[in-house]
Each structure stands twice: as structure tokens, then as C-alpha cells.
Structure 1
Amino acid sequence: MNWLAICGSLRRASSNLALLEAAARLVPADVSVATYSLAALPLFNPDLEDDMPPAVRDWRAAIAGADGLLISSPEYAHGVSGVMKNALDWLVSGPEFVGKPVALLNATMRAEYAPAQLAETLRTMSGTVIEAACLSLPLLGGTRDAAAIVGEPSLAAPLRAALARFAAAVTDPAR
């Protein structure tokens, strides 16, 4: 199985990115995870859809080639990050995202609005949010990198379990 990890933050020291990197280390043995950076995507402009910029073509091909998506995005001003929303907007008119299984990983327990907004947007786009694989971990305010998350049993165990549930759902969509 090939999964794509997508971070809605462009910060180098993002706790969301650290969470995705930890997830890549904890996935079941038959899963490979590639991390996709959204930094190169231009601002969404429907006028460009007939002649898409190369970064958009690459983005859409990466989504099409993934068996499942791991998404971790911060909450900014009670909403989804602009980086994440922009990336999703580029997928709306294509078939690449339709039916794609998604696990939402949240790097804070304090986010109240963005996770629900993101899930609603993904469902509206015909993605399949696997609720049993969605997880929030208390990483905010810490300086944990992926190794620290993997090394902390209270963080690694629930993450590993969520990833196993996601793998089961991706393998057998009837679950």
C-alpha cells in the first residue's frame, strides 16, 4: 500500500509535520508513506485548470497514485490553514480525490473548528474520512520531533493503533 502524508503547515518545525513523520515510522510493514510538500502549489485559479501549472499536475498525480491519505493540518483563526484549503481547491474539479480514504491526524487537542471543517470539506469533495483512524495527540507547545513521538509510548501506541485501523479500512473499504 502507498500512502501520501500531507501537512497543512509550511513551517520547518511544524508539529503536524513531525506527527506525519512519526506516522511514517509506525505504519504497518506492508505500507509505504511518501510526504508531499504543498509549498510549490500556486494559489488556486480556475482559469489555469485547462493549462495547469506543473506543480498542480504533480500534486494531482500524487493524489491519484496514493491508496490513502494521511492529513495533518493546523488550525489558524478557528479554521483550516490556507495552505491546506488551497491544495484541496486544486483537486475539486478532477477525479483524483473521489473515494480516496483519508485519516486526519491532529497535533493538538485544542483545535475545535478546523478538524470538523476539514472533514466536511473532504466529504464534500467525495473523499472517505475514516473516523476510526482519525486521531488527536497533545503535541502543541512541545518541541517533539518524529523520533520523540515514536519514542513516547503514550503517543506512539495510539498513533500505531490508528494507522492499523486505517490500513484495515484501506484494504477492506467495507470495514
Structure 2
Amino acid sequence: MALQKNIGKALRALRLQKGVSQEKIALETGIGRRYMSDIENGRRNVSLEIIEKLADFFEMSASDLVKEIENAAFPPVTQKSLKRWLVEHDYNDSVVFQNPDYVSAVVGVSEEGRVIYSYEKMVRTLMMTDGMDYEEAVEFVDFNTIGALPTMGENAPIIMYEVEG
């Protein structure tokens, strides 16, 4: 049952990131809209054929889609648990973004204790939690978050951009 829920979470996040409806996915993949809804809500099993169709729709490999599903399985980190971890590892001066939703975009910590965030995950988080479309979320992150980095000092977070290869 947990796997079904993780598949649903991952697909919903990808759908929102792409800014498409369940109906559009259903039409373009040949998956029924009701079935697509049931998948997103964790009520249906998914065959490898469906995984392949969805991966094609999201323009990724099936293995990348499975990675997205695996990432949905990890329990969410909270701001409190992140700060506690930083203190336990002697990174007391680390700066954490105040937006509590950004904690899901944390991908690591540098040797000097600077928290590393994924730009794409920050954007995706705003889309899911605040209902922004992709362009609005990008504008928010660029202006409000990246724009604030110079005022945060030498322990400011690092924002990582994915490199397309």
C-alpha cells in the first residue's frame, strides 16, 4: 500500500510541475482519467506498461520515474529536524531558509555546513504547496529566495541547479 501512495505522490508532483491535468495525461497516454485519478490517490496498482507510458509522457526514462517514486518514499524532513541535525554535526552557524516548505528541497550540506537546496525541488514545492504555476514559482524563487542570498552572510544556503547533459 505504501508503494501505491508513493507512486501517486510522485506522479502528482510531476503533473503539477508540468502544469497539466489528469485528463491531458489520460488522453495522451491512453490511460483512463478515472484510473489516473486512482493512481494519484494511491488506490490502484500500476503495471510496468503504465510506468513506461507515464515516463514517456513526462519525457524521462522509466528508471528516472522510479527514482522519483523512491524519493517520495522517504519521510519528510522538517525544519526542526534539519536544524537539530545541523547542530548535532557542529554546523551551528548554518542558515536555513525560513520557508518551511523548502525543507523538502534540501539535498545536502557542504563541508563547511552550508545547506544545499535543489532549485527544481524548491520550484516544485511552491507549485504543490502554494498552488503556483511553474512560471510563478520560478519568479518567486528567483526574486525572493535567490535575491535574499547576499544578505545571509558567508553561511548562506547554496542553491544547486541541475545540469542537463
- Per the normalisation by structure 2, the TM-score is 0.31
User: Which of structures 1 and 2 has the bigger CA Rg?
Assistant: 2
Which structure's residues are more often helix, by fraction? 2
Which structure's residues are more often strand, by fraction? 1
